[in-house]
Structure formats: structure tokens, C-alpha cells
Amino acid sequence: MADRIHFRKFYPNYYSFLVNGAMVLLVGAILPYLIEESGINYSTAGLFLSAFAVGNFLASFVNPFLTKCVGRKASIVITACLMPASLLGISFIPPVPAMIALFVLLGISRGSYSIINNAYINEKGDGSAAALNLLHMVFATGAFLAPMILSFYFKIGLSWRSIVYTISIASAVSIVMIFMLDLSGDGGLGRGGIDSAKLPAQRKNFWREPVFYVSGLLLFFYLGLENCVNGWFVTYFKNSGIMSITFANSLVSFTWLAVLFGRLSTAIISTKVKQKYIILADCLATAVFFTLLISTKNLAVITFSIIALGFFFAGIYPTGVSNAGSVIKGSDFGTSMLLAISALGGILMPQVVGSVADRIGLVGAIALLLVNVVAMIVLSLVNMRAKKD
């Protein structure tokens, strides 16, 4: 009976993050078709990706505000409704300004889901890296499924809009399932939830903790890298002539299958190995395989490298969030600010890559992401000293 109650308590949360993962990969998967049908350049396409990331960033302010005004459950229901509405709007390919607005709204929905899902598991799972990695493993499952479904739709003669409609329906179902979650609290934001006055001082004053900033900056550079891989790499593979777009979608999909196994592995390892060591190892491996990926046109090497990259990508974000768990636990605002810092990286890099690509080509522009890779290694080393445990 207890297991059934536990399952019912977490299943809606996992399902919503599954849909979230599918939607995030959908953005990159359909980008080549948006470019083609809209007749836009790389810089404008990068603006779409950045607008999506801006929305994700704004969610860190929109969500706490709505939560304070109307409570957790009402807040997430309102922002969740933006997902199917925005996806349907994008499928009509409106003028560029309207498209940018739709991507911003889609990002707000994505970010609000992320805040609630992470905060919910952080509270119910007592901030454990294992619980957060399992949550993000579900996200990876959704990310794996989206490009695979898109490739399947192409094989049976459907267009890219079919996957947009599919995920729109799935996101509408998640709105209904949100009502199954125990979201009566508000994360300490003022509507009868956790009493922030009773939180330990380091949790109220998270902004004074070096670990908060180290974790935030690490996630800043990581999300810049991840958003570009998710958003640009299908187009990158297609335009480089290395592989067909169908194979590129399948490869990105299998990359997220590697992420799934990577997060499962990290969840297991995190029960025995300290978070700071996991982060350092993942960042070093990411540097190796990303460098290998962009330095060759050998299809076999590229396939191996991007799948390995996905595997070592896997643990960085959830373990990075958990790394700051001791100073943000019990505070939706603390979680929001951590995710806001990280979201800035996802805003800047897609636009930078797109702008540079218009001048030197997308293949050369992708090499700029080596800056992120180096920064992640440096910050993971700083984190080794900042974390006392």
C-alpha cells in the first residue's frame, strides 16, 4: 500500500518531466524545417533558441511571483498551459516577431516545470543526488523519444508538424496530472508552505555561500553547451554533409539514450562517490569527447563521440543542482535563482553561435563551445576546494 502511495505521489511529477524532455529536443529537431519554411538565416534561428532560453530564464522570476500570488499548484497549471498553446502557434510558422514571442512563452513553461519538478524532488527526496538523477533520467527518456518519433513519422509519410501535435497533446495530459501532485506548499514564498523563518541561516542566505555561485556558474557554462548541442547539432550534422537529417535525428535521439544510462549510472555512483568528484570526472570526459566530436568527419568516430558525450553530460546538471542542495533546500526562490544563473548560459550561446555561423559557417561556429568546456573544468576544480564534504 505504501509503495502505491509513493508511486502516485511521484508519477505525475515524472510524467511532466518526461514531456518536458521531449519538448526540449523537439525544438532542435524541427529547427532545420523552421529555417527552410521561414527562409531565415542562422542568426535568426539562433534568436529562436535564445528566446526559448530567455523564457526559461524568466520562469525563475515568473514562477516565484505567481506562486506567491496564487500558490504552487495554480502557478504551475497556468504556466503549463503555455506549452501546448505555444507549440501549436509555432506549427503555423507566424512572422518572426510572433515566433520569438511563442518561443519565450514556451521557455517560461519549460522553466516553470523544471523549477517545480526539481524543488519537489529536492524536498521529497531530501536533496539526494540519486533522486534528482532519477528525475533527470526521466527527462532524458523524453528527449530520446522525441527525435525517434519524428523519424518514425517521416517514414510513414507524416510531416514535422505531427510530432508537434503529439507533444502538445502529451503536455495537455500533464496539466491534468498536475492535480495529482501534493503541491499545497509554496516553497517558503508566503502562502502557507515552508516557514522560511525556521530554515537554517545558510539556507535563507544561500547567496552568501560560495558553493551556490560555483554551482550556478558551472551550470551556466554547461547549459550553454547543452542548449547548443540540443538546438544546433541536427542542423550542424545536416549542413556539414556528414550524414542525412534522418540519421542526425536518430543519432541525437540515441545520444539521449546514453544520457538516460548515464543518469542511471550517476544515480547509483552518487550513493558511494562524493558529488564533487562526479562533477569533475564528467567535465573532464565531456572535454575529451566534445573535442573529438568537432575535430573529425569520420562518421563512426562522430557517432561514438556524441553518444559518449551524452553519457558524460548526464550527471552534470542534476549533480550540479544537488551540489548546491545544502544551501537551497526548502526554498523555491533559492532553486529559482540557481536555475536563473544557469539559464543565462543557455540564452547567450545559441545566439552567439548563430551570429558567428552567418560569418564563418556553422561548423566553425560550433568550435566556440570549447570555451564552455574549459570553463566547466576550471569550475569543477574550484568546486573541489569549495565543497568541504
pLDDT, residue 331, reads 64
* Count of CB atoms situated within 10 Å of the CB of 153: 17
Task: Share the mean pLDDT of the chain.
Answer: 84
Question: Strands, E, within 94-180: which ranges?
Answer: none
Cβ(188)–Cβ(198) below 8 Å: no
pLDDT, residue 232, reads 87
pLDDT, residue 138, reads 84
Cβ(285)–Cβ(376) below 8 Å: no
CA distance 284 to 307: 16
Handedness of CA 255, 336, 75, 92 (dihedral sign): negative
pLDDT, residue 361, reads 86
CA distance 328 to 335: 6
**SS3 call for 142:** helix
CA distance 141 to 253: 9
CA distance 10 to 156: 35
CA distance 357 to 365: 5
**Chain segment 104-129, per-residue pLDDT in tens:** 999 999 989 888 887 777 776 555 56
Per-residue pLDDT of the chain (389 residues; tens, 9 = 90+): 444 444 456 778 888 999 999 998 899 889 999 999 999 999 999 999 999 989 988 987 898 888 888 888 888 899 999 999 999 999 999 999 999 999 999 999 998 988 888 777 777 655 556 666 677 778 878 888 888 898 899 889 999 999 999 999 999 999 988 877 776 654 544 443 444 444 444 445 777 788 888 999 999 999 999 888 888 888 888 777 778 877 888 887 788 788 878 878 887 888 888 889 999 999 999 999 999 998 888 889 999 999 999 999 888 988 888 888 777 776 667 777 887 888 788 888 998 999 999 998 888 899 999 999 999 999 999 998 877 66
Cβ(79)–Cβ(63) below 8 Å: yes
pLDDT, residue 85, reads 97
The pTM score is 0.77
pLDDT, residue 55, reads 92
CA-nearest of 61, 54, 95, 59 to 79 is 59
**Chain segment 166-186, per-residue pLDDT in tens:** 999 999 999 988 877 776 654
DSSP state of 94: -
| C-alpha grid cell, residue 34 | 523552421
Q: Which helix (H) or strand (E) segment is 110 a member of?
A: helix 96-124
Cβ(15)–Cβ(167) below 8 Å: no
Cβ(262)–Cβ(315) below 8 Å: yes
